[in-house]
Amino acid sequence: MAALDWENINLTAPASEPATLLPPGDYDFTVVSLERGMHTAKPGGKLGNCPKAEITIRIESDAGNASLRERLYLDDSCLGIISAFFNSLGCYDSPNWAIEGKTGRCKVKTRQYDGNTYNEVARWLAAPQPAESKALSAF
């Protein structure tokens, strides 16, 4: 993304490639962007107000290229998902939110919503742990 200029705003959207529907499977990905925001609780919802990270990942495969947008909610009930995401990037000790350009692996599935079929991340797949981390985690 680029910042806009107050005086010269071009309202013509740049051409984007058509969305590719990937078949379910395991894929390598690259983190394209991370946007910080706030989740506002809905009445009767499972989550309260909390920070959220909106992450865009890029998958390039023989089946085509796709961009997926995923949300990580910074709530203690979602800690397992946050941990799995960082583990997929090879970050086992402490999360570092400077993740643009980092690579990982995920399992992608399809889902139906409002008459359309979409891809979404079913699971973040852990990267191999370095030998030092394995030795330390045994204690």
* Domain spans, the chain: 25-128
Distance CA 100, CA 30 (A): 8
pLDDT in tens, the chain (139 residues): 555 556 666 565 455 556 789 999 999 999 999 999 999 999 998 999 999 999 999 999 998 899 999 999 999 999 999 999 999 999 887 788 999 999 999 999 999 999 999 999 999 999 987 766 554 454 4
Phi and psi at 135, nearest 5°, equal -65, -40
Q: Which CA distances in Å does 43 have to 46, 47, 49, 126?
A: 9, 10, 11, 34
Distance CA 50, CA 34 (A): 16
pTM, full prediction: 0.78
- Token output for 54: 């909106």
